[in-house]
Amino acid sequence: MNVFMLRLLFDLLLDAANAASGMAVHDDCKLKFLELKAKRTYRYIVFKIEEKQKQVVVEKLGEPSQSYDDFTASLPADECRYAVYDFDFVTAENCQKSRIFFIAWSPDTSRVRSKMIYASSKDRFKRELDGIQVELQATDPTEMGLDVIRSRAN
């Protein structure tokens, strides 16, 4: 790797770190999450980082009747996102249960800068959402398939 490429990579890393360190969380993110958790108003929430405003915002809300397939279809194929999904399941003892999943969606085809910003902002954002029970990191759909969700819910 030549000096120019190293300098470019360093500048990108520095820019991403600086952008992420000051990332705010819009109040609506916390409010909608509380509604999902307490009132079960939504099945899922998709969050997006608005780089210009340097904040995480709500992008999509899934109705309680929507399926896991609806949720996965709502995630862009080539852009990073955060999401929470309220997963209902029945235990081996035949008990109805629910788990709230936090999913960090970072597809291989997304921009490197975007991956870095999402990765460096994730922990701070997650701390704002009190009640996450399971965390998943996915770079392609197979890493967050329904079989993976089921196995992690138990």
Q: What is the pTM of this model?
A: 0.85
Q: Confirm if 87 and 153 have CB atoms less than 8 A apart.
A: yes
| Lowest model confidence (mean pLDDT) among 3-12, 95-104, 136-145 | 3-12
Q: Which amino acid is at 143?
A: E
Query: What pLDDT score does 154 carry?
Result: 81
Q: How far apart are CA 128 and CA 95, in angstroms?
A: 30
Q: Rounded to the nearest 5 degrees, what angle is found at the Cα of 76, between the Cα atoms of 80 and 59? A: 75
pLDDT tens for 13-66 read 545 554 545 689 999 999 999 999 999 999 999 999 998 999 999 999 999 999
Name 91's Cβ contacts closer than 8 Å, sequence gap at least 6: 97, 154
Q: Quote the CA–CA distance of 57 and 47 in Å, as a whole number.
A: 6
- Domains of the chain are 3-153 (3.40.20.10)
Exposed, middle or buried, 120 (CB in 10 Å: 0-12/13-18/19+)?
Answer: middle
pLDDT, mean of residues 78-89: 97
Q: pLDDT tens digits for 16-27?
A: 554 545 689 999
